[in-house]
Amino acid sequence: MFEVLEKAVERGQDLGASYVELRGESGFIEYIQMDDERINALTQRIERGVAVRVLADGAWGFVSTGDLDALDGAVEDAFTMAKAAAKTRKEPIELAEVKGFQDVVEVKVERDPRNVPIEEKIGYMRDMTRVIRDYDPRITAVTVKIRTASGKKYLVTSEGTRIQSDVMLVWSYPWVTGKEGDRLSSARHEEASTHQGWEYLETFATPEHMGVEVAKRVKLQLEGVPAKAGSFPCVLSPRVVGILAHEALGHLAEADLTVNTAFNGKIGEVVAAEGVTMVDDGTLPGLVGSTVYDDEGVPTSRVELIKDSVLSELLTNREYAAKLGLRATGNSRAESYLYPPIIRMRNTFFETGSYSEEEVFEGIDFGYLCADFRGGQAQLNASFQVGIQEAYEIVDGEIGRPVTDLSISGIATDSLFKIEAISRGEFPFGAGRCGKGQEAFVADGGPNIRFGKGGITFGGRG
């Protein structure tokens, strides 16, 4: 594919474009959904196409096409769009200077999902359904979804970048509901890898692991005590800390959004309690958000968004790095060739602190431990609301009864100042999907973190 992309880049240069970028993709995508052991969806498709992005007269033009024989026409269309957009643009777009790379990025897997028989995939889903059903007779419905993708993508630019990368995805997602009397409960769990093949579902995200994780949460909700409404001291566990880092805070640090957020103009200012560090890192081995290069060919990096309580950096692409005088951080991502790349998070997390696990809970007479979440939303003013699908009372510094019907809300930028303790030691990352007009697989996490009263508001029936 490189040869046809390079010829199309040359066509853009001949037209007079200041920058030409082509992203080619070819691969196989499969999606299966099972509802109570019945297959209700099975789609398989081969994707092949090219994204064309042209910068001319300080404006972008973007076109995508599935016809590799029509690339010259696509480049010409993108160039025409850029010229037209330039007429109404007040400020010309510039790009931060970066080195051009020539590289081949391989993802070595034991079992390419393309080569796994469909019967084996259905067997995986059926086994998970049975694990869930056997866990508790009060479970009433089980949905299991899996998605796999494998292929290659290519990036060629007028600045000499020429990168070929393997594409890999395995994703597993059960959704379960239960009922006892008038009480209903539901829970979900999600795991994904972009660095392993089908073996990931055989060794980590197994039917047993996935099934027990989601079924136990339904059971806990059916047996939990009603949550009290109000503000209490609390401990957020890695999965909930992760959603706070990503959803309520990380989006504020995406440079294309920052001007409209609570982080606007605050680089260099204290934005959190002492000792708080929050990071987005695209280089961590094995995590779903990690890659060697972003979709502009910029190497991914560790970005310390908050460092020792101070807002230190923003996530950028080349355009916003130049506009704001910042470095290009390698956070430009596109869902597929159908979309232009935009600024996205990768693996977003809070760094560890100095407290033992026991010390994090000390001094809480009554509060809550939030262990896992089920959905949430946040606004650019840092307000957030998250449903909690696994939670426990904390009484006299000890973990107590499970809790049901709990949600948390607050203003994340205020909550940061209410952090009282951060645990030390390793923590797990959760995998998930982020929507910003396009889907991106991301990871998030962090250690156990204690928030004082006033940091988090709880919704409940009490």
The answer to whether 305 touches 315, Cβ cutoff 8 Å, is yes
Angle between the N-to-C axes of helices 207-223 and 118-135, in degrees from 0 to 180, rounded to the nearest 10 = 30
Kindly indicate the confidence band of residue 386, based on its pLDDT and cuts at 50, 70 and 90.
very high
E strands in 232-316: 234-236, 278-281, 302-307, 310-311
- Measured CA to CA in angstroms, residue 267 lies from 263, 302, 377 at distances of 8, 17, 25
Render pLDDT for 62-120 as a digit per residue (tens, 0 to 9).
999 999 999 999 999 999 999 999 999 999 999 999 999 999 999 999 999 999 999 99
Domain 2-223 of CATH type 3.30.2290.10: yes
User: Taking the chain, what is the end-to-end CA distance rounded to the nearest angstrom?
Assistant: 62
Residues 63 and 79: their CA atoms lie apart, in Å, by 9
Look at residue 116 in the predicted model and tell me its pLDDT.
98
Beta bridge partners of 27: 47, 151
Q: Transcribe 396-445 into DSSP letters.
A: TTEEEEEEESEEEEEEHHHHGGGEEEEB-S--PEEEEEEESSSEEEEEEE
Residue 461 scores a pLDDT above 80: no
Contacts of 237 by beta carbon, 8 Å cutoff, 6+ apart: 369, 370, 371, 372, 448
Element (H, E) at 322: helix 318-324
Look at residue 462 in the predicted model and tell me its pLDDT.
57
What pTM did the predictor assign? 0.96
Contacts of 38 by beta carbon, 8 Å cutoff, 6+ apart: none
Provide the CB-side half-sphere exposure for 403 (13 A, CA): 29
The answer to whether 53 touches 60, Cβ cutoff 8 Å, is yes
Q: Which two tokens stand for residue 449?
A: 């973190």
Mean pLDDT, residues 207-220: 98
Strands 398-404 and 225-226: parallel
Render pLDDT for 393-440 as a digit per residue (tens, 0 to 9).
999 999 999 999 899 999 999 999 999 999 999 999 999 999 999 999
Residue 267 scores a pLDDT above 60: yes
* Better-scored residue on pLDDT, 460 or 202: 202
Length of the chain: 462
Q: In terms of C-beta density within 10 A (0-12 exposed, 13-18 middle, 19 or more buried), how is residue 69 classed?
A: exposed
Look at residue 375 in the predicted model and tell me its pLDDT.
83
Residue 48 scores a pLDDT above 70: yes
Sign of the CA dihedral running 143, 149, 105, 328: negative
Render pLDDT for 315-374 as a digit per residue (tens, 0 to 9).
999 999 999 999 999 999 999 999 999 999 999 999 999 999 999 999 999 999 999 998
Mean pLDDT, residues 193-212: 98
Mean pLDDT, residues 287-305: 99
Beta bridge partners of 154: 24, 164
With tokens 């239960």, the residue in question is: 178
Look at residue 376 in the predicted model and tell me its pLDDT.
84
Mean pLDDT, residues 280-285: 98
Look at residue 460 in the predicted model and tell me its pLDDT.
79
Residue 222 scores a pLDDT above 80: yes
Type of residue at 23: R
Residue 124 scores a pLDDT above 60: yes
- The C-alpha torsion from 174 through 399 and 230 to 388, rounded to 10°, is -10
Contacts of 33 by beta carbon, 8 Å cutoff, 6+ apart: 39, 40, 41, 42, 143, 144, 145
The answer to whether 198 touches 169, Cβ cutoff 8 Å, is no
Residues 106 and 149: their CA atoms lie apart, in Å, by 15
Residue 381 scores a pLDDT above 80: yes
Render pLDDT for 130-183 as a digit per residue (tens, 0 to 9).
999 999 999 999 999 999 999 999 999 999 999 999 999 999 999 999 999 999
Look at residue 377 in the predicted model and tell me its pLDDT.
86
Look at residue 2 in the predicted model and tell me its pLDDT.
95
The answer to whether 222 touches 138, Cβ cutoff 8 Å, is yes
The answer to whether 296 touches 317, Cβ cutoff 8 Å, is yes
Sketch the domain layout of the chain as residue ranges.
Answer: 2-223, 226-459
